[in-house]
Each structure stands twice: as C-alpha cells, then as structure tokens.
Chains A and B, each alone.
Chain A
Amino acid sequence: MESSRLPRRTPKQSVNPLERAGLAGMDGWLAFSALGLLACSLFTLYEASGSQIVGAPEQYVQRQALYGLVGIIGMIAVSRIDYSRFRELRVGIYTFLCASIFAVFTFGVAARGSTNSLELPFFTFQPAELGKLLLVLALAGFVIDGARRGSEGQRTIRILALGLVPTGLVLLQDLGTSLVFAAITFAIMVAAGVRWSHLAAIGAVLAVFVTVVLVALPAAGMPVLKEYQQERLTSFLSPSSDIGDAGYQQNQAKVGIGAGGTTGRGDQATQSRFGFVPERHTDFIFAVVAERYGFVGAALVLSLFALLFWRALRLMTLSKNFYGTLVAAGIAAAIIFQVFVNVGMNLGIMPITGIPLPLMSYGGSAVIATFLMIGVLQSIHIESRAAERGPWID
C-alpha cells in the first residue's frame, strides 16, 4: 500500500528496540500507549486506593499489576498469531461468544446490580469483556465472507442481525457492554462500506426503538430496563443532593474533577480520598486522576488514548487485507467508545452505564481482554510489515 514510502530493512539493520527485544514488527507507539495507560492505572491505584481495603492497602495495585502482566503476555502471544486465522474461525468464535453470554445467564454471579460474571477458580470472569474482541473478530469475518453474496440491502441486514443478536443478549445483563457491542457493529458496518442511506435508516429505527424502550413502554406500564438502569441513565441530567443517589455520586465525581484544577490536589484530593467519589478504583478512576493530578494528569491519560486510537486507526490503512481493516476499525471503535462513555460519565455529560475505562479501571477481565485486543492490532501491524517485506524475510 505505502511501500514506496517505507524503506526496506533487514532485521540486522533494525534500530527498533522492540525488534531487538524479540518483539519484531510490533508498533512501538501502540505498545507505548497501552503500557503507559497501565502504568497510569497502577500509579493511581497505588496513590489513591490504599485506604479502600482495610488491612490490605496494596491489594488493588498488586492484582492490577498481575492482570496487566497476564495481559501483556497474552498480547505478545496473540501478536504472534496471524490474525487472519480468526476469520476462518468466525463461526466458532461467534458460537463461543453467544454461548459464554448464555453461560452467564445460567451460572452467573451478581455484582453491583447486574449479573455479568462467571465464577472461575482464582478469578471472576466477565465473558462480555472478552466478548468485545470476539464480536469484532467474528463480525469482520462474516462481512468478508458475505461480501459477494446477496444484494447490498441483504448484506446490510445480515451484518446488522449478526451484530444485534449478541448485543441484545448482553443487553439483558449489562447495558454498558451492550452499547459497546452496538458501537462495534456500527463501526464495522461503516468500515465495511455499508451505504449511508442504510446507516441512516438503521439510525432512524434505533431512535424509534430507544424512544419506545425509555419512554413509551414504561409509560404503558411495561418497563424494559431495570429500575436502577433507568435511574442511572437519566440521573446525570438532574444531579441530586441525595446521598446514596446515583446522581449525587456522579455529581461528587464532577466536583472532584473540577476541584483538581490545572495541576491537581495531590494528597489533598478529598473528594476521592474520603469516598465522595464512588467506585474510585473502577468506573470513576478518571475522576481520581483528574482530582489528584489536575488537567495535566487527566489530559495525559486522554492523550495516551488519543495515541492508542490513532495507532489503531492507522492500521485500517496499513493492514495487508480487508479483514485486518475491519478488525482494526472494530477495535478502535470499541476502545474510543468506551473511553468516551466512561470519561463522559466522570465528567457528568454521559449517563452511568458501568463501562470501565480501558486499561485504567481496576478489573482483570477488562485489562486482559483489552491487551488481547492490542495483541490483535499488533498482529495486524506485524503482518502488514511482513507483507511489505515479502515472504523471503520471514
């Protein structure tokens, strides 16, 4: 694609430190942004969550570090696999995705009002986290697979239907993840070249659907969303002074962020230190960063996400095949959508949906799953480099 601009190198000539470390072909900036975010997460947890678990102040940091390590190993391992293999496994992946969501229905354990986890030995696993990656890989595969079959409209409907089945299933467990699934589906459809008119029609249907779910059905006495879901979704519109109320907590997070100012309050960050900010190691970790380290710290985190997004997006054009382009688009969308919803929630402009901040929020499933996504992106990068160099180098 852009071979004329890239000089050809032999491994011996390489000055890329990742290549020298045996991580040949990886995108250094992508790795840097991911590792940087993990470092920010660990630093923040170390500084700010010490008082949360009496008797075990280091627990969150240590566990997050362990999850990060497992994630990094997973990332390297996945980067070594040619991602194109996943296209062939699309049916299996898709089946596994739906099965794992079903498994939660059957064996799931509840946490914070929603049942979205599986109790495994040593670990409470949230299948939906890994599901984001699985959906990208499967859906992109189905797009390629069906690219020459049926009319344009049929193709649009097929992709949409394949995306909406897991989205709908997850909706019953966890609204946030379901929204991410929808964003992935949308991004892959855009990248796949679905006609704008089709996208507009889908948008219109979606608008009607949302209106029905949020307004019409509850008014008719058939609430689709659970009460806590409804409250979370609408509370950001009317910050409440009622302690214990979702709106109150979100407002406290906003106050904490505002109080952080330009350079932050450090240990004087009372909003997060004394528990006014809720869920400060998970959903509201961004508020902790913003209060402690101010605009400087918060902007650094957002910049790392911007870098990550840019590097992921860049792979859409670098990819050696269209499948890679679609996968890169899906992953980039999944990450940026989660960042927007989570940080927006912290900043008081998005409803509370329980979407974690990728690589920052404490939580094994999300951290590992996100690193696996990065691993797939790295694989796309490595493959694109390999394709440029030609088979004889490999």
Chain B
Amino acid sequence: MSRRFAVIGGIGLVLLGILFFRLWSLQIVTGDKYLAEANDNRTREIRVPAPRGRILDRDGKVLVDNRTSMALQLDPIEIPTTVAGRQELYARIGKVLDHSADWIRKKVYETKKNDPPGSPITLDQDVDDDIVYYLQEHQAEFPEVQVNRIFVRKYPQGLLAAHILGSIGEVTAEDLEKNPDKDLAAGDTLGKTGIEQTYDDELRGQPGDTKVQVDSTGRIVSQLPSTLPVPGESVRLSIDGKVQQAGEASLQSIGLPGAFVAMDVNNGQVLGLASNPTFDPDMFTHPLTQNQVDALYDEDNGAPLFDRAIGGQYAVGSTFKPFTALAALDGGYITPQTVVNDTGSITIADQEFDNAGKQAHGPVDLQRALEVSSDVYFYMLGRDMNGTRQLQNWAGDFGFGKATGIDIPGESEGLVPSPKWVNQAHKEEPKYYDPWAIGQNIQFAIGQGYFQASPLQLATAYAALGNGGTVLQPQLMLQTEDAAGRVKSEAEPVVTGEIPIDPAARQVIMDGLHDAAQAPEGTSYKVFGGFPVKVAGKTGTAERTDEIDQAWYAVLAPYPDPEIAVVVTVEQGGFGADTAAPVALQILQAYFDKQAHAVSGGVGSVE
C-alpha cells in the first residue's frame, strides 16, 4: 500500500513542483519583461491636434482663424472585415446621419484610398448637437464611431485674399512619404495651397499627446499625464487690408477676369494681390462635391481657383516699353534726345506695323514717345536691337522669363522669346510657332508676340525701375508671431538682382511715364490727371487672338521717388486706360488715402 501511496503522492508533488517552478520563472525571473509588456498593452497615445496659427494682414486684422467643429469619425480598426458586417455597420451609422449605407461606403472608400493607413475616417463635420448627444448616449451601440472636436479654418474677412491664403487638408499617404522629417501622422491637417502651404511648418504647431489607459476592448478607462499641444505661430502678411479691399472690389466691379499686384518697391513686400473671379475659401472647410470642384476649374466661369496674378501668362503690351527703352539707351541705339517722326505706321521687311488706330504722333523723343505711347518709336528699337541679345538680356535682368520666388506656390515663369528658343519651338511644334524673324523682336519691343509675363513679374520689374535697379523677391510674409503676439521671425528683403541703370536714363523714363499719367496729352490723364499724388504710370493694351484686347496698367507712386508699384490687368478689358487704370487709381487712393478729382480734356480713349 505504501508504495501506491508514494506513487500518487509523488505524482502530485511533481505536478505542484512544476507549477511552482513555472510561477517562479514567470514572475521572478522574467517578471520585468512581462511588466513592460503589460504596460505597453494598456496605454494608448492619442494625438491632440494643435490649433493652427492665424493669418493676419499687415495691421493685425485676422484673415484666417480657427473654429472648432464636432466631427463624426470612424475608427478604421473597427470596420468589420466581412462584407456583411460592413454593410450592417454602414446601414446602422447611415440611419443616424440620415445618409444611405452606400454614401458611407463611398466615403470610407475615398478616405482609405487617399489617407495613410489608420487615419480616422471623417464621415461628417459640424455635426448637429442632437446627433452628438444621441451618439454619446448610445456609445455602447456605436463602438466604432467617435465624435471628436477638430479645428476648422474660418475666414472673418470673407473672400478677401482668398488666392493668397490657400487651404488646408488632411495628410495623405503621399504627404507622409514626401515629408519624412516632419512630425506628421495620419489624421493631421496640412497646408495644401497658398500661405497655408508655404508656412505650414510655422502655422501647424506641435500636436500634443494624451496617454490613456484602455481596456481590452479599447475603451478609455483613465487618463495619464500628457503633453499639451503647442499652438502654431501666426503669420502676419505684408498685405495692406485697405489696398487689398480696394483692389478686389474694384476688379470685381468690372466683372471681367483680371488681377492686380501692389508691391513696396523698396523691400519687395506685397501690399495687395488678387485675382478675379475669386472663390470663398470657406468652401474648402467642407467636403466638396464634384460639381463644386468642377465649377472652381471651369474656364467658362473664369476658373475662379486660378490665381492670375502669379500664374497668368500674358502679353503685357505697352507697359513693357520702359524696359525696351532702357535696353536701347544702354546699348547706345538711342539717346534721350533721339527724335523719330511717328507717322502712324512703319514698314519693316515688307511688313507694315501700325500704331493703335494708325494715329500719327509726329516727331517724338523718348519722353514723348512714352507719354503718348508711340508704337512706331518702339518698333524701330525692336528692329535695331534684332540680331543682338540686348532686349532679351534686359528683360531677363528685370526678372522676366523666370519665377520671382514669391512665397506662395503656383507661379508661372513667363517667356522671353529669343531666336534660339523660338526656332527650337518651331522645330518641335511648327503648328504653333513660326521661325524667328525680325518682326518678332519688333513685337517683343512693345510687349507682344511670344513674350509672356505674369502681373507679378511686371510689378517686380516696375519695382526695380522705381527703386533704381534692385530686383527684389516679392514677399507676402512679414513676420511670424507666437500665440502671445511675440515676433518669432521677420522676413528680410531678398535681392535677386542688381541692374546698372543709368540714373539719367531712368529719369527720362520716369518723366515720360509721369507725363503719360498726368500730363494732359498722356494716355491715362483722364484717370490720373486729378489725382493729388504725382505718379508715373503706363497703359497697356495687349492684343489677343480672337479676343477683345487685354487692358494693362502699371504705375509707380509717388513720382519721382516711388514707394509703391501697382500692376493691374483686365482680360478683354479693352484699352488700358478704360478698365485697368481706374482699378490702379482705386488702389492708390486707398494706399495714399487721397481721392482724385475729375479732370476734363485729355486724349480720350486711345492706347
């Protein structure tokens, strides 16, 4: 008996021994490892979005602010893997949101397609309180759905400066890939266009981390110490609210597509910049329908999203003449005293080139040629400089043909036509480009032909003319400020080129432009004749194929030592003095806070 007793006892003892040994090994030998694993198990880090910095105008007026919105989000982990399970879930949520299951399925699909894995799927934002309360009360029935507070942009000034400000959007998988060093995570928002994009690093701030304890089903059971989000810095723009307002209102009142740029000639700060037609930036705080997107790009609508001020590529017409004059003076083709008899037209290489309306101006020197905008005078300069790179070089020095480097994306480079370039283009696309001929340099001399520039490039060039030859990079950002208003960084003027302009030559041109604007026979006398500030301004009327002429006006003020350069263009606006110059006047009136009085006389509606 005692042997049997020993066997059962022995087996029992061995079994207990195994348990004791295993317990000892788990808890005492490898306990630390399991403790770490258990701690890891129960904590989740939740990113707390930082409020994005505001965007202000020069005087501190708020252009872009934040508001909070209740967003209904779906946790992607909670989406069932079976088709039936998903259908059930979408139908259940759809009932609450008053949408079809199919609508939700599409939403989920779209988000999952674009966003990095794990991004919360925002089904709806600005959700009604009713729905928020309902979901909170019935949380147990909707474990997949969360109502989260998110920051949404708001625009206290309405449409003002819409093209400059830009929009934000959720981080896409592509964004994450492109910016591996940025502290980005799925579900964050990122500046996608405009100032929001350029200064995203400053505006975005640092998201905080809330550590929470969760149970095995992922429900939050308690909160642990967390790091608070750091709000983004505010960006103060150089935009002058009054200038911007006046320019936009004036452009809109004309009702044609157009743009304007106002720039400080001494430091490159952009005081105003707009493109018409414009759009409501608030649109981008909601999911857009396909119709809305289409409308924003629709050419028949004027493609409102397109920023003509920086992206438009146009022939600039006679506003280019000062640069032709500077090139010719520098090359010794003319002196300020050179007189040409303007008979209204000129024939070069069997081709007749006319003044607008074949109007004859008689004998004109350079100053007079600018005042009355004699095309014949400049046709001759184009002819004389053909075969050299004189005109091309000077245009390039003033910044034409390359991006200015303004701190918003979307700039076009324009085009300075050279024989080499044109012939190459002809070889590649003979349908669109003729081979180089003297006529092309002649057209170029009056800002026509293959020459193309954006309003911003023209304004940059006029600013350089105004300040005596320093080409400045146009800048929109003035400074960044922290939440308490302390300045964090300031923009410095960036010089992109110095042009050796003979002061005497510049003086003649400034005089000619002043006469053009404010002498009774000047082309824009009827607009600027009564303006109490002396200005130097040039009209432009660019011919466009199969379209009404495009109106231009470029002006420096005050004359003779300007502070501000303004460029206005109105597509299909006809004569520069008729549509573009009045917009420029409105802008200068706002800038100088002085009103023009009406004048009679002048030359009327000519080029």
Contacts and interface: CB of A to CB of B under 8 A. Distances in A.
A261 B7 CA distance: 33
Given A256-B38, A270-B41, A299 B8 contact: no
Contact of B8 (A275, A298, A329, A348): A329
Nearest to A294: B27
A349 interface: yes
Given A295-B27, A298-B27, A316 B34 contact: no
Given A295-B24, A309-B12, A347-B22, A317 B5 contact: yes
A340 B18 contact: yes
Contact of B5 (A254, A313, A344): A313
A40 to B, nearest CB: 15
A317 B12 contact: no
A259 B19 contact: no
Contact of B41 (A276, A298, A348): A276
A344 B38 contact: no
A271 B27 contact: no
Interface stretch (A106-114, A171-179, A187-195): A187-195
A30 B317 CA distance: 110
Residue among B20, B41, B216 facing the most chain A CB atoms (10 A cut-off)? B216
B23 A255 contact: no
Contacts of A299: 20, 23
Contacts of A302: 16, 19-20, 23
Contact of B221 (A193, A260, A274): A274
B31 interface: yes
B491 interface: no
B5 A290 contact: no
A274 B15 contact: no
Interface string B345-374: 000000000000000000000000000000
Decide if the interface of chain A is mainly helix, strand, loop or mixed: helix
B548 interface: no
Contact of A305 (B1, B16, B24): B16
Residue among A193, A333, A336 facing the most chain B CB atoms (10 A cut-off)? A336
Contacts of B20: 299, 302
A62 to B, nearest CB: 24
Contacts of A332: 8, 12
Contacts, number: 135
A259 B34 contact: yes
B42 interface: yes
A256 B35 CA distance: 8
A257 interface: yes
B8 A254 contact: no
Interface in B4-32: 4-5, 7-9, 11-12, 15-16, 18-20, 22-24, 26-28, 30-32
A49 to B, nearest CB: 14
Given A295-B23, A336-B16, A349-B18, A261 B31 contact: yes
B217 interface: yes
A343 interface: yes
A187 B12 CA distance: 11
Given A262-B31, A271-B41, A274-B216, A347 B23 contact: yes
A325 interface: yes
B602 to A, nearest CB: 83
B132 to A, nearest CB: 23
A295 B41 contact: no
Nearest to B24: A295
Contacts of B28: 261-262, 295
Contact of B23 (A274, A298, A316): A298
Contacts of B215: 273-276
A394 B568 CA distance: 123
Contact of A261 (B5, B22, B35, B216): B35
Nearest to B23: A298
Given A259-B31, A294-B27, A190 B1 contact: no
Interface string B543-574: 00000000000000000000000000000000
A343 B12 contact: no
A258 B19 contact: no
Interface residues of B, number: 37
Given A256-B38, A270-B42, A262 B5 contact: no
B16 A191 contact: no
A349 B21 CA distance: 12
Nearest to A306: B16
A33 interface: no
Nearest to A1: B1
B31 A260 contact: yes
B219 to A, nearest CB: 9
B212 to A, nearest CB: 11
A349 B23 CA distance: 11
B289 interface: no
Contact of A258 (B7, B15, B34, B214): B34
Nearest to A251: B37
A243 interface: yes
B2 A270 contact: no
Interface string B36-59: 011101100000000000000000
B8 A190 contact: yes
A252 B34 contact: no
A316 B5 contact: yes
A274 B213 contact: yes
B8 A316 contact: yes
A123 to B, nearest CB: 30
B327 to A, nearest CB: 74
Nearest to B218: A243
Contacts of A276: 38, 41-42, 215-216
B597 interface: no
Contact of A313 (B9, B15, B27, B42): B9
20 contacts: A190-B4, A252-B216, A254-B26, A255-B37, A255-B41, A257-B23, A259-B35, A261-B27, A261-B28, A270-B213, A273-B215, A276-B38, A276-B42, A302-B20, A309-B16, A329-B4, A333-B8, A339-B19, A347-B19, A349-B22
Given A190-B8, A191-B8, 16 more contacts: A255-B41, A258-B30, A261-B27, A273-B215, A274-B214, A276-B38, A276-B216, A290-B23, A295-B24, A309-B12, A310-B9, A313-B8, A313-B12, A316-B1, A339-B19, A340-B18
Q: Which 10 residue pairs of A and B lie closest in terms of their CB atoms, listed nearest first?
A: A258-B34, A274-B215, A259-B38, A261-B31, A275-B216, A340-B15, A270-B42, A259-B35, A336-B12, A295-B27
Interface of A: 187, 190-191, 193, 243, 252, 254-262, 265, 270-271, 273-276, 290, 294-295, 298-299, 302, 305-306, 309-310, 313, 316-317, 325, 329, 332-333, 336-337, 339-340, 343-344, 347-349
